[in-house]
Amino acid sequence: MLERQRDAYLAHVAVERGLSPHTIAAYRRDLDRYAAFLRGQGIDALESVRREHVAQFAQSLSTGDDGGRALAPSSASRTVVAIRGWHRFAVLEGWTPADPAAQVKPRAVPKRLPKAIPIDAVERILDQAGAGDGIAPLRDRALLELVYATGARISEATGLDVDDLSLEPGAESVLLRGKGRKERIVPVGTYAARALDAYLVRARAPLAAAGRGEAALFLNSRGGRLSRQSAWAILRAAAERAGVPDVSPHTLRHSFATHLLTGGADVRVVQELLGHASVATTQIYTLVTRDTLREVYAATHPRAR
């Protein structure tokens, strides 16, 4: 019974909320662990679950007392969110008369400041991405210029088709599809537009010739869509050559947001550009800029110390 109820819920969130396969797989693991805990309590259907069962399981996530591994706060919080959604769905479907998870809250996750790098470090990475001869540097430079120019996630950039990009003079923009397939149109700056034009004119056609007419904007050497892993490898290699350590797939996105806010952009505008559903998610970047202001103040004001 638990397996059927789990599968129905996962099918629901996949269709109705448009969650990515990666998120669905994470939810499945979370719910499988919860179902194993419930079976250990002699429970084989959601209607038999009580609040104390949910609370006990939530507590065990950080200790591993249920037999699973102890989770970090962020993973434990995600698991509780998945469980709450499952029980809420069960009430809506009429499987259970009440929601035993309604009062069990996810653990508060400490806010982590996004890692941003200085503008000159970004420029070194972009320069290194385009260094060398051949068509690959043209593609690599265009890819990273676009990610930094738009704040796109790596997966959003690799998911682009040629028709999603407009390089019409004065109206350069790209259509990005974020979490839940939510679409947003983001302007493309001059540097990125030039790099993309060079790639499209001089490099994409030779790459496409090796494939079967793939519509993807960014192609690999076989003419297929460039994967997220390959895009990450391109960024990492360029960062290593540029001497910029500890670069992650989100580094350029974080830097995009931080540099905009530091330059005076409104947080609501940055929220729209990033595709955040809530401005609260974007506001974490303002902590970065406030830290920078404090550092500058402490270092330069004659009576700051």
Enumerate the active-site residues.
Answer: 153, 179, 250, 253, 276, 285
Structure tokens at 169: 């003079």
What's the angle, vertex CA 245, arms to CA 244 and CA 246, rounded to 5? 130
Give the C-alpha distances (Å, rounded to integers) separating 43 from 38, 47, 73, 85, 230: 5, 9, 26, 19, 45
Dihedral of CA 44/48/50/52: which sign?
negative
Distance CA 115, CA 255 (A): 7
- From the list 215, 203, 89, the residue with the least C-alpha distance to 137 is 203
For helices 251-262 and 228-242, angle between their N-to-C axes, nearest 10 degrees: 60
Strand pairing of 183-187 and 173-177?
Answer: antiparallel
